């Protein structure tokens, strides 16, 4: 699910030091002339998402059906997080809804840059099985994605790695490895799982132990990948035999006959969500869109178009088994994986990331 990690990492490098610069001011002025008067009328709702195939899937599954039902047109923008914060701090956000990673929604909450949600206006979020961790004061989860273990099926004499312990077992599963680079949080959890830490005992992370385990395979980690398609490229070329990857990124290659597979055991889940920026000009329509997107049938439609898992369990009643098996929130995958602890990572990100950078360059 790649662009989300890039999206958040850009924000993490700018949050806390945002100033309303000339570029942001110019952008704000331009948007004021082109779109906001219409938004205030209630006929146009401005949604920020990160575009690409994700944006196109949202248009087909969410925005166009919402417009047909309500008459409210959706305008999509792709502001960077520094631009978003600058506009909010000026009191003139040029978007009404933000579709971003849940860790970013928490950061916006900490920056007093988002509106507290009135869950009384979100009937499809109440008593529908959405995990409590995704029902935060200023953001509601909308989809799951995950990092998983991927490998070449022709690399290990018919054996298949079934855990992160196997990823670390260079004797039984020899060959070059790849791990995620700075596009997202360092993958310390996988090292700890490889060393026998249970899923429910990961947090708070034992950082020293994780780096000791990472040292065991450092000589075989030849690449730190930086974009979502890269693990598949490395694996398909035989540059590495096993790699972490974002689930769903290999599916087309597997369908084309490339000898690749991935393992859900030990998957690290993260979530996208919706929030409303502080000062949104069209909150009523924003609530209507968010509630619409949480309908089970809409969640299922989105999952058929883009490989993120629904947060509403009833959505799986609208999905075939062949689709559900590839999604991070199927019941079996929920049991075999874990949710990244956003609060822990935000509290420890600076020190851990610096240490990881030093390790990766060693």
Tens digits of residue pLDDT in 291-346: 999 999 999 999 999 999 999 999 999 999 999 999 999 999 999 999 999 999 99
According to DSSP, residue 277 is labeled B
User: Is 26 buried (19+), middle (13-18) or exposed (0-12) by CB count in 10 A?
Assistant: exposed
Percent with pLDDT over 90 in the chain: 84
**Taking residues 259-275, what's their average pLDDT?**
97
Three-class SS state of 95: coil
Structural domains for the chain: 3-144+270-320 (3.40.190.10), 145-269+342-360 (3.40.190.10)
pLDDT tens digits, one per residue of 120-138? 999 999 999 999 999 999 9
User: For the packed helices 81-90 and 3-12, what is the interaxial angle rounded to 10 degrees?
Assistant: 50
The Cα diameter of the chain in Å comes to: 65
Q: Which two tokens stand for residue 170?
A: 């260079």
Share of the chain above pLDDT 70, in %: 88
Task: Return d(Cα 102, Cα 224) in angstroms, integer.
Answer: 24
198 vs 114: CA distance, rounded Å: 35
User: Given pLDDT bands bounded at 50, 70 and 90, which one contains residue 274?
Assistant: very high
The pLDDT mean for the chain works out to: 90
User: Residue 3 pLDDT more than 70?
Assistant: no
Predicted confidence at residue 309, as pLDDT, reads: 97
Residue 136's pLDDT is 97
CA dist 47 and 77 (Å) reads 6
Span 63-80, pLDDT tens digits? 999 999 999 999 999 999
How high is the pLDDT of residue 7?
52
Q: In whole angstroms, what is the distance from residue 245 CA to residue 223 CA?
A: 12
Its pTM stands at 0.87
How far apart CA 303 and CA 58 sit, in angstroms, is 10
256: pLDDT strictly greater than 70: yes
Residue 117: partners with Cβ closer than 8 Å, 6 or more residues away:
137, 138, 139, 140, 275, 276
Closest Cα to residue 141, out of 329, 335, 284, 301? 329
- Whether 28 has a pLDDT exceeding 60, the answer reads no
């Amino acid at each position: 699910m790649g662009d989300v990690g890039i999206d958040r990492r850009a924000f993490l490098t700018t949050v806390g030091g945002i100033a309303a610069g000339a570029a942001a001011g110019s952008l704000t002025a331009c948007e004021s002339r082109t779109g906001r008067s219409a938004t205030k009328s209630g006929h146009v709702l401005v949604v920020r998402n990160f575009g690409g195939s994700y944006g196109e899937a949202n248009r087909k599954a969410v925005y166009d059906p919402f417009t047909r039902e309500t008459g409210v047109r959706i305008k999509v923008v792709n502001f960077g997080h520094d631009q978003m914060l600058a506009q909010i701090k000026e009191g003139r956000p040029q978007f009404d809804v933000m579709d971003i990673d849940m860790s970013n929604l928490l950061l916006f909450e900490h920056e007093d840059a988002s509106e507290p949600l009135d869950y009384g206006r979100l009937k499809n979020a109440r008593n529908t099985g959405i995990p409590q961790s995704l029902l935060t004061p200023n953001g509601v989860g909308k989809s799951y994605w995950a990092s998983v273990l991927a490998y070449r099926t022709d690399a290990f004499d018919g054996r298949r790695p079934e855990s992160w312990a196997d990823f670390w077992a260079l004797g039984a599963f020899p060959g070059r490895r790849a791990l995620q680079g700075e596009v997202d949080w360092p993958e310390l959890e996988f090292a700890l799982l490889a060393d026998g830490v249970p899923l429910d005992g990961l947090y708070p992370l034992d950082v020293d132990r994780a780096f000791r385990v990472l040292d065991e395979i450092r000589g075989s980690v030849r690449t730190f990948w930086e974009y979502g398609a890269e693990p598949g490229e490395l694996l398909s070329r035989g540059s590495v035999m096993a790699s972490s990857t974002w689930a769903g990124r290999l599916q087309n290659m597997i369908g084309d006959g490339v000898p690749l597979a991935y393992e859900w055991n030990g998957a690290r889940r993260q979530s996208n969500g919706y929030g409303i920026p502080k000062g949104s000009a069209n909150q009523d329509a924003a609530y209507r869109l968010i509630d619409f997107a949480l309908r089970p049938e809409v969640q299922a439609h989105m999952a058929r178009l883009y490989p993120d898992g629904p947060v509403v369990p009833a959505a799986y009643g609208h999905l075939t088994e062949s689709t559900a098996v590839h999604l991070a929130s199927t019941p079996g995958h929920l049991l075999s994986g874990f949710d990244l602890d956003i609060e822990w990572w935000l509290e420890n990100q600076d020190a851990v990331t610096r240490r990881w950078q030093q390790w990766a360059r060693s």
